[in-house]
Structure 1
């Protein structure tokens, strides 16, 4: 899965979460793209990681405090506009998106966009925030694919039979602070419940091979070039 479109691919440095990056990933053969969502002050849902424009654009300011008329003028790396969620869904009709809704104010606007685009069957919403996962499930119902939140992931690790059924996959880091999240037992328990395990963010080939050997179902990477080569070498690139 192409994280922010492949943010650390040598040809994409500085262009994360842009149409340019997503088109590049699709050109490599990726059909699963990851992006982050924020809502502007007037409810326009955009693909952007940070809560402020400052780090990657030529503008400044808190996205949730700015209207779309201002945010749309920002240019990532001085060149690329910030894409809206509805634009991405329209531009890539054959692609599946993994969506990380970064703040509570984006939940209802994102749900509205997904309904209007009839896109529930080609997105998966995930977040380490249990409250956001729970709310988006309530807004869009059981048809929506969701990842598990932080509390549900802990349940699977320690009390697997208490795991709610609605989530489709675990999307987790190998480690969180000093805690090891991904273990062989967790993978086994997830698979026994029919749930996939996706690991983020994996950017070096030795770790990619190790994760795949351990049985994970998906890797989320900034280095789309390296993951493609690893999967090709293993005969798993399709």
Structure 2
């Protein structure tokens, strides 16, 4: 979950919903790949945060902090189960989708190398399979990395929006380098106004994207079951952003 503290309590955005927002952003780009590869890239973006751990047991506290607040995804430890699960699911959609997903997993977790033997083995396996898939798909490392960069770019921009990380006072923040190596930035010149992305990467001169968020007014929960019940009955609001050429 992405958890934001607000004046009303908590705003919860599921990671799968954040991934769908990232796909909206990718869909707005001018396609840079053949149709089959482009659709595979969109699928990888949509599903890159799937296979999240289920909350089990009435007394469990997986979704909570020690203080009983909803736990943001950054407060959770690396889950090898989730990582292997999302890669296993990707394989049913082919080598291209698998390659993109494995590149994302390497990007996220290579920095953890050396902490656990089983994690190192997983990271080594990712490298081996990436080489195999590139060879079988007749892709250079540069071509694969360039396609993956768009996934990373859209993931990053979606997180900036979902986590309320747009700076105040019209200050700019870096998004990420795009597939062409250009560094993109965003700023919001007017509070609650359009978000300006520079340089402009999308086909249309203006786009609108959205994500659904659950609103909780209760600040603490006894266990996962209480949090899950609150989320099932929580009001859902749609967060929208207009992105505009600078």
TM-score of the pair, normalised by structure 2: 0.29
- Greater RCO between the two (CA within 8 Å, min separation 6)? 2
Q: Which is richer in helix?
A: 2
